[in-house]
């Protein structure tokens, strides 16, 4: 399915099921994409997470019901999948800035209409990428589970935590003091950031990782194997995270929509960081995004 068609189908499905208990997993199944890739693309193209879009639409429709009917607040809350009037009122006030009772009495509401997706043609500038076949390879790293909707804010904190806890000593030029520092040195952990969508529930695994070279795997660390696949490799030059985020946005908003040759496949992607040359804040720092793809039939 073409990327734009997938986003449109996802929106259509959500609009038809706003009174049903649906999740990002349910939406992703309708368009045959992993929840991780759909969440990422949807957020970059619309500015909203899937759960956020569903929640905002429900709260707007709930406000209209309050204005147009005499239904009880609890009945409206249950219709839009809130288990209690209290949880509904809390979300309602956060979104509209007024209680359900005040909205029923005429207070203004926050309008949130259904989205339409249109392709905007940008002139002149072509994205630089290459398709690279890769043999199976393994990565090893420190893992944490993240929520799709908060991952962009939380993942940098995870990197800081890992660097402070396991990298500071060896980066200072000292010998590894424990098996974790030894694994970090042996496998160049920090070269990859790996997103793996295989647990569902609107969450995914993220690894601060390196290419596994064999040997002991310290307790708490994980090894993940990528199958043989074709990867679209997008190079990025500039300070992190701004430059990498910009490229990521362009992949989902410019390269994937209507791409005549390739579509997403698999359930994982890789951020690559140059661990040898330069600092991540340098204006010419080199990084890349690797996305598994397959040629369209």
For the domain spanning 3-104, the CATH number is: 1.10.10.60
Looking at residue 126, its pLDDT comes to: 52
Q: How confident is the model at residue 215 (pLDDT cuts 50, 70, 90)?
A: confident
Report strand pairing: 221-226 vs 137-147: antiparallel
Which run of H or of E encompasses 221? strand 221-226
**Tens of pLDDT along 117-159?**
665 444 334 567 899 998 899 999 999 999 887 887 898 899 9
Looking at per-residue pLDDT, the higher value among 120 and 96 belongs to 96
Of 248, 245, 273, 268, the closest CA to residue 189 belongs to 273
Average pLDDT, integer, range 270-275: 90
The residues, ordered by sequence, that sit 6+ positions from 103 with a Cβ below 8 Å of its Cβ are 63, 66, 67, 92, 96, 109
Cα gap 249→277, rounded to integer Å? 25
Q: How confident is the model at residue 267 (pLDDT cuts 50, 70, 90)?
A: confident
Select 130-295's CATH number: 1.10.730.10, 3.20.80.10, 3.30.230.10, 3.30.2010.30: 3.20.80.10
Looking at residue 40, its pLDDT comes to: 82
Cα gap 182→189, rounded to integer Å? 10
**Tens of pLDDT along 48-60?**
889 999 999 999 9
The residues, ordered by sequence, that sit 6+ positions from 13 with a Cβ below 8 Å of its Cβ are 22, 26, 27, 30, 31
Does the predicted TM-score (pTM) go above 0.85?
Answer: no
Q: How confident is the model at residue 81 (pLDDT cuts 50, 70, 90)?
A: very high
Q: Where are the domains of the chain?
A: 3-104, 130-295
Taking every pair of Cα atoms in the chain, the longest distance, rounded to a whole number of angstroms, is: 72
Asked, colleague to colleague, whether 3-104 and 130-295 share their fold, the answer is no
Cα gap 295→116, rounded to integer Å? 28
């Amino acid at each position: 399915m073409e990327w734009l068609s997938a986003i449109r189908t996802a929106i259509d499905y959500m609009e038809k099921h706003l009174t049903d208990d649906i999740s990002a997993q349910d939406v992703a199944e309708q368009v045959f994409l992993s929840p991780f890739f759909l969440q990422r693309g949807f957020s970059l193209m619309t500015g909203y997470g899937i759960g956020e879009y569903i929640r905002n639409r429900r709260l707007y429709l709930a406000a209209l019901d309050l204005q147009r009917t005499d239904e009880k607040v609890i009945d409206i809350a249950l219709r839009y999948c809130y288990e209690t009037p209290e949880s509904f009122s809390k979300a309602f006030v956060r979104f509209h800035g007024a209680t359900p009772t005040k909205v029923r009495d005429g207070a203004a509401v926050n309008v949130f209409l259904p989205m339409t997706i249109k392709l905007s043609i940008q002139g002149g500038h072509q994205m630089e990428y290459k398709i690279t076949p890769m043999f199976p390879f393994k990565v090893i790293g420190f893992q944490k589970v993240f929520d799709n909707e908060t991952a962009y804010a939380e993942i940098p904190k995870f990197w800081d935590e890992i660097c402070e806890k396991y990298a500071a000593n060896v980066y200072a030029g000292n010998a590894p003091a424990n098996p974790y520092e030894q694994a970090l040195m042996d496998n160049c952990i920090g070269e990859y950031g790996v997103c793996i969508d295989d647990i569902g529930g609107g969450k995914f695994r993220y690894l601060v990782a390196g290419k596994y070279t064999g040997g002991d795997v310290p307790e708490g660390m994980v090894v993940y194997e990528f199958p043989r696949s074709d990867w679209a490799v997008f190079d990025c030059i500039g300070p992190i995270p701004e430059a990498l985020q910009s490229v990521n946005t362009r992949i989902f908003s410019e390269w994937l929509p209507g791409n005549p040759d390739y579509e997403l496949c698999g359930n994982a992607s890789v951020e690559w960081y140059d661990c040898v040359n330069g600092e991540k804040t340098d204006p010419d720092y080199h990084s890349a995004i690797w996305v598994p793809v397959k040629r369209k039939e």
